[in-house]
Structure 1
Amino acid sequence: MKVLLVGGGGREHALAWRIAGSPLLTKLWAAPGNPGIAAHAECVGIGVEDIPALVGFAREKGVELVVAGPEVPLTLGLADACAGAGIPCFGPSAAAAMLEGSKAFTKDVLDAAGAPTAAWKRFDDPDAARAYVRAQGAPIVVKADGLAAGKGVVVAETVEEAEAAVADIMESRVHGAAGASVVVEECMTGEEASFFALCDGTRAVPMAAAQDHKRVGDGDTGPNTGGMGAYSPSPAFTDAMRDEVMARVVEPTLAEMARRGAPFRGVLFVGLMLTATGPRVIEFNVRFGDPECQVLMMRLQSDLLPALLAAARGDLSGVSLEWSDDPALVVVVAARGYPGAVAKGEPISGLDRAAAVPGARVFHAGTARGADGAVVSAGGRVLGVAATAGNLQAARDAAYAAVDALDWPGGFCRRDIAHRAL
């Protein structure tokens, strides 16, 4: 089978590694890919937002499955364009991708589906949003309604902090057009978990859960990021919780999306707060999480490719996935300054030493080739150093041993990934 993987980050490197291991695969391309993905796929210089070029390439090469990694091409209609060309695409239509493209849309769907979530209101007017914040008090959560690369959420401990968040998002437009409106919602308490399910429009197959670390600093301090590390399975997310989330969230959401004429195919990422009264939905994403995808792929024992194809074709009947009981953990190594401005083009060495640590694997997230062919930094989150072992402590030890084998003075990481579980 010929496959085109769209994307060039750590999530896509993990997917490329797993897809490349399928006996069904005959050729894998990645657009645009990265130096790590190049070990598993032929990288082609097409950006993730260039939908006509992606579909044209797939047609020209006889691609039999397009796999969308990030959310942006899906919200721009990649799956719709593939459908028009008769090419199966793993990922939802633009209408269904609104589950990530608009937080207000998601909340409407959750309410209609009767799924447990936080009380909320949407605002187009910053003064009205601030008035609501003052009436509700703190702590309270302020979210940019649109796509903000995982950075558009502020958990405000004070009313003043929430009002400042409204000003930043709606008036200063720190997240661009994503901040044209905001969702303000109650602050739920508990542990966060990420649960994933493969969907074919009507059916869902449970995958696995993970817990990630959004704050940039040890002890969950500092600003939110796209994710500084993750581990799976999550001891806090039980089998009973999985069954509850499937029955109360995933299946009713699929039914509601189908009722709206936008059946959801692809992977549904359910961001959860594990509260004292049970799991409640924080948000949906319409793609694998990054860095959660890395630990899921480390634990997956089944062939991924036929499952992706079955979801894309709309028929998951008979599909099940097997998972290793051994935990996996990933540490994100980021460029200093992240999540703010960072320096790029810094050489990174020691990658082979890191990969040689037993149980470890290095996923490239924000790397490029320098003029001399060496790997250099090219983003904020640059590497995901993952490991699997017989227990979580051993997996963490192996991951940090691999991190310490790297030679990149400009990089940093959190040193306490999985601290709650351990």
Structure 2
Amino acid sequence: MKWLIRSFLLLLVLALGVVGWWLFASHRGDNSAARTGQLTAGENLADRALIARGQHLVTLGDCAACHTRRGGAAFAGGYQVPTPFGNIPSPNITPDDETGLGRWSFADFWQALHAGKGRHGEFLYPAFPYTSYTKVTRDDALAMFAYLKSLAPVRQPASALGLTFPYSVRSALAAWRTLYFREGVYQPDASKSTQWNRGAYLVQGLGHCNECHVARDALGGMSDRPALSGGRILAQDWYAPDLSTQAHGGLQGWSRQDIVDLLKTGQSAKGSAFGPMAEVVSLSTQHMGDADLEAIATYLQSLPPRPQPALAASAIDASAQIKQGQAIYRQRCADCHGADGNGVAGVYPPLNGNSSVDEPTGINAIRVVLLGGFPPVTAGNPRPYSMPPFAQSLSDAEVAAVVSYIRQGWSNRASPVLERDVGKYRQTPID
């Protein structure tokens, strides 16, 4: 069955490639986005205030996370962005003439950010989240460009593209864009407050939160599920939870202060940031001003309630597994997280009602038990308590047991996990 599905997808992508080539050829001369990015007479990229604002916006957009390889120069690219179709190396965005943005105009930059097209009109792979960045305003884009142009140039050629055929056929992106990309700057909702609109702009645009917090389909497109309703981060094996604070939402019961605290310090009364989110907090959200954090919280609290999830009936009796997990929890976990699962405020996160514990897949809890939990170091929490890894001391069956117990303990009502899942995620790197 798997080979049949793969063959179907291959034929589908090839068909999309043919359509994409035709669309690309017929629209190649369209430079409307580039024209929008022309500088006016009064705009000076060397203006210090503009550069400072751009630095802040680049931080809000978390650009360094993808455009800096481990141990490399900031913004010089080379980080391999993992996707189910192969790795995509991030480009150098320092102002080097040969390998970076040195010869780019603002029109080129605006076209990339807003329209998802490179300097020569080629389609960019959506590992670069232009599907969200298209909402960024021209003024903000100009400030970001001014900051990137002010950096010291670093000569670092691009790495080879790691996509396999037919996903390496760039022209096929024309069809993908027809299906999944809607170009357009954020338009404020006149019926909402200024604070709500600011939060929506940051979450939908610069913050590009929906790129992770919604499910993707077989072609890597964001599904038709509601925005920010949670989804597995493909090729990384983490689950980005639903962000609604309303009934059945992933953050049900979170207060505005809980959201602000997590984004500012990496820790709140409801839980801590781990995995990819820890990096987001470390590099981006902890540097936001209080007004922006409050705006994001206001917007997230306006997300609608979610349908009550239906737990899949299991043919396997998990009672013995749960009993084993309870014994492991009492021995290994209760000293920090408490017999009641409520943790210790400001020190150890609660497991009771924790969105990373009762998310649909169980991935997050399995990986944290195996590999440890490491909240980000932030100005508001400079010495966070970390959780040790148990990969060496617990078997796959024991990890499955304790995770299943936690996912069904106290107020949690998530499904148990399987031993084979633990074995799979044990092999997945932490980042």
TM-score normalized by structure 1? Answer: 0.25
Say which structure, 1 or 2, has more relative contact order (CA 8 Å, 6+ apart).
1
**Whose strand proportion is higher, 1 or 2?**
1
Larger radius of gyration: 2
TM-score normalized by structure 2? Answer: 0.25
